[in-house]
Amino acid sequence: MKAAMEAHDGAAIAAILAPNFESVDLSGHSETAAQMIAEVNDLKPDPKKSSTTTLLSVDSAATSVTVVQRYDMKTIRTDPDGTAHNVELVTVSTDTWTKPANAWLINKTVTDELSYFKDGKLIAHQVKPAK
C-alpha cells in the first residue's frame, strides 16, 4: 500500500481495496476508494519526504484482521519568503482487512488521531471524538 501510494499508482491502490472500501477521517466524513485514489493522484511528488509506518496492534479473526498503525511523515516546507521548515505529520489509524476470496483487501480505514509539527513544535493535535 505504501509503495502504491508513494508512486501515485491508482491501479495498484485499487487492487488492494475491497469493493466497498471506506476511508473515514477525524470528523466522521467518509470517502470511497475512487475519491481516496483521486486525492492521492492529485498530490505533488515530494522528494524531501520520508515516512515510516509502525504496526501498534494486530487482532485477527477467521475472515478479518484489524490493524492499528502509526504513520509518521517528515518533509521540508518552504515559506513564500524562502524560510525552510521541518514539518512532521503523525497519524494513528485503524484499518480493517477482509479476505473475501484468495487475497486480503482493505475494507475500511479510520483515522483516530492526527498531530502536526513545525520545526519540532506541536501546531495541531486532533483525536477522533469518543462515541
Q: Convert the pLDDT of each residue in 22-49 to its tens digit.
A: 999 999 999 999 999 898 888 888 889 9
**Helix (H), strand (E) at residue 131:** none
Please check the confidence at residue 2 and state whether its pLDDT lies above 90: no
- For residue 3, give the amino acid letter: A
User: Could you read off the pLDDT of 92-124 as tens digits, one per residue?
Assistant: 999 999 988 888 999 999 999 999 999 999 999
Q: Across residues 5-19, what is the average pLDDT?
A: 86
Task: Answer yes or no: are the C-beta atoms of 31 and 37 closer than 8 Å.
Answer: no
Range of the domain at 11: 2-127
Q: Across residues 69-81, what is the average pLDDT?
A: 95
| Number of domain units in the chain | 1
Residue 66 in grid coordinates = 484489524
Distance CA 82, CA 75 (A): 15
Distance CA 102, CA 26 (A): 32
- Confidence (pTM): 0.87
Distance CA 40, CA 25 (A): 15
- For residue 19, give the amino acid letter: P
- 16 or 44: which leads in pLDDT: 16
Residue 24 in grid coordinates = 473515514
DSSP code, position 53: E
Please check the confidence at residue 1 and state whether its pLDDT lies above 80: no
**Best CA proximity match to 77, nearest among 120, 118, 122, 121:** 118
What's 67's domain CATH number? Answer: 3.10.450.50
Q: 64: phi > 0 → left, psi -120 to 50 → alpha, else beta; which?
A: beta
